[in-house]
């Protein structure tokens, strides 16, 4: 081969090499989406999971796919996030599914329900027992595709202006309790209230409500509930875990290239782990600080817990009898929960119970 031909061949090869792109880059359109959350920026773990998710998507796509995150109320009210996704006002939202039980009580189950799954069980159910597909079979008629993107862990049972010593103390109590819990507590005489997080403190301070639950020590400290309702109860039996979800407009989701869908799934899973880890790290010191500032921790008595379990089972039976979609998801979840506790009582519970009891001995 002549020198000129050789150099030309080398040049052509180099040019070909220089334009070879990874598969993602070749099919990577530039997209700009908007995502609204149902949480204020001050709750940087709940709201922050959406920021973590959006940042991961941008980094994985070399900033080709950008998702702008808006806090509750900036463009959409907190309890209108699902509607905004349904009608295409925004492409996505980060929210708690149970905020939308006004559409259908089944919306409660993907987030939490009384005496259901704990956090690890819930993740196992979603990722390895078909939970994601099961809830999306339900969501599809609302033009929503959903992925879990966070979990608060077991929540606290709320802040009360007075002690709850007997089941009868619930009678007439005005209690801010989200989702399914309100319907169960109504059987015990509670008057349920649905109030956005940013309005709970003022409602407690004014006496508009007698009690309120939110999440747990880290967020509750920020909201200052201990200043106006000193009795802090555990556990939040209606939220043994609470999954937070990303809702995507179905058409927008389906229009994504397969590579982008994979990126979104991975980023959502990462934010799911991040949120639980953040709460696990921050809750213990926050609880200590609040106790030092006057919070009085209480535990619901066994009698109260039994009464709440009985009321919960009654509500499950009532709803299942009239709502086949609810029954389909709940029956699947219930069977999984019962199977899981056969294992948990052997190792997880035995270990944790021993360690809790041995901790004061160092």
DSSP 317-362: HHHHHH-HHHHHHHHHHHHHHHHHHHHHTTTHHHHHHHHHHHGGG-
DSSP assigned state of 199: H
CATH 3.40.190.170 domain residues, the chain: 29-154+241-281
Q: Which residues touch 67 (CB under 8 Å, ≥6 apart)?
A: 32, 33, 34, 35, 53, 54, 57, 58, 91, 92
Give, in order, the Cα–Cα distances in Å from 206 to each of 176, 202, 210, 214, 229: 14, 6, 9, 18, 11
The per-residue b/e assignment along 89-113, b for 16 or more CB within 10 angstroms, e otherwise, is bbbbbbbbbbbbbeeebbbbbbbbb
| Separation CA 212–CA 194 (nearest Å) | 10
Indicate yes or no: pTM above 0.85. Answer: yes
The per-residue b/e assignment along 224-239, b for 16 or more CB within 10 angstroms, e otherwise, is ebbebbbbbbbebbbb
Give, in order, the Cα–Cα distances in Å from 246 to each of 38, 122, 126, 326, 352: 11, 16, 14, 20, 32
Q: Which pLDDT score is estimated for 360? A: 73
DSSP assigned state of 103: T
Instruction: Let me know: does 37 contact 94? Beta carbons within 8 Å.
Output: yes
CATH 3.40.190.10 domain residues, the chain: 158-238+283-326
Q: Tell me which CATH code domain 158-238+283-326 carries.
A: 3.40.190.10
Q: Which pLDDT score is estimated for 5? A: 47
DSSP assigned state of 266: H
Q: Which helix or strand (DSSP H or E) is residue 215 part of?
A: none
Instruction: Let me know: does 201 contact 183? Beta carbons within 8 Å.
Output: no
Q: Which pLDDT score is estimated for 24? A: 53
Going by C-alpha positions, the residue among 273, 276, 277, 270 that lies closest to residue 59 is 270
Measured in degrees and rounded to the nearest 5, phi and psi for residue 74 equal -70, -45
Output helix, strand, coil percentages for the chain, rounded to the nearest 5: 55, 15, 30
List per-residue pLDDT tens for the chain, 362 residues long: 444 443 344 344 444 333 344 555 556 899 999 999 999 999 999 999 999 999 999 999 999 999 999 999 999 999 999 999 999 999 999 999 999 999 999 999 999 999 999 999 999 999 999 999 999 999 999 999 999 999 999 999 999 999 999 999 999 999 998 668 889 999 999 998 878 777 889 999 999 999 999 999 999 999 999 999 999 999 999 999 999 999 999 999 999 999 999 999 999 999 999 999 999 999 999 999 999 999 999 999 999 999 999 999 999 999 999 999 999 999 999 999 999 999 999 999 999 999 999 987 64
| Separation CA 225–CA 202 (nearest Å) | 9
Q: Which pLDDT score is estimated for 196? A: 73
Please state whether 54 falls in left (phi above 0), alpha (psi between -120 and 50) or beta: alpha
Q: Which pLDDT score is estimated for 359? A: 84
Q: Tell me which CATH code domain 29-154+241-281 carries.
A: 3.40.190.170
């Amino acid at each position: 081969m002549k020198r000129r031909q050789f150099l030309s061949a080398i040049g052509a090869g180099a040019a070909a090499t220089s334009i070879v792109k990874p598969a993602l880059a070749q099919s990577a359109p530039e997209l700009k989406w908007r995502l609204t959350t149902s949480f204020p920026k001050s709750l940087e773990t709940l709201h922050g999971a959406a920021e973590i998710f959006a940042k991961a998507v941008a980094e994985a796509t070399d900033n080709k796919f950008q998702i702008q995150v808006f806090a509750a109320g900036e463009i959409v009210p907190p309890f209108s996030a699902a509607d905004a996704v349904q009608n295409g006002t925004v492409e996505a939202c980060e929210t708690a599914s149970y905020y939308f039980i006004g559409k259908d009580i089944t919306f409660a189950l993907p987030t939490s329900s009384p005496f259901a799954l704990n956090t690890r069980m819930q993740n196992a159910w979603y990722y390895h027992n078909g939970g994601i597909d099961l809830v999306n079979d339900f969501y599809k008629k609302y033009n929503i595709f959903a992925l879990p993107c966070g979990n608060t862990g077991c929540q606290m049972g709320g802040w009360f202006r007075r002690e709850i010593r007997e089941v009868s103390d619930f009678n007439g109590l005005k209690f801010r309790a989200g989702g399914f819990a309100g319907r169960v507590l109504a059987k015990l005489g509670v008057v349920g209230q649905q109030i956005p997080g940013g309005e709970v403190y003022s409602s407690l301070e004014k006496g508009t409500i007698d009690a309120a639950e939110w999440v747990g020590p880290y967020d509750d400290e920020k909201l200052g509930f201990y200043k106006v309702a000193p009795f802090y109860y555990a556990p939040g039996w209606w939220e043994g875990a609470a999954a937070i979800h990303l809702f995507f407009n179905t058409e927008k989701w389906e229009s994504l290239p397969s590579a982008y869908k994979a990126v979104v799934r991975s980023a959502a899973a990462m934010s799911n782990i991040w949120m639980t880890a953040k709460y696990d790290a921050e809750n213990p010191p926050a609880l200590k600080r609040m106790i030092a500032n006057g919070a009085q921790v209480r535990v619901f008595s066994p009698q109260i817990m039994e009464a709440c379990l009985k009321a919960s089972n009654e509500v499950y039976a009532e709803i299942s009898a009239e709502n086949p979609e609810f029954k389909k998801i709940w029956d699947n979840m219930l069977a999984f929960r019962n199977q899981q506790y056969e294992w948990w009582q052997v190792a997880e519970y035995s270990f944790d119970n021993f360690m809790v009891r041995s901790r004061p001995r160092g």
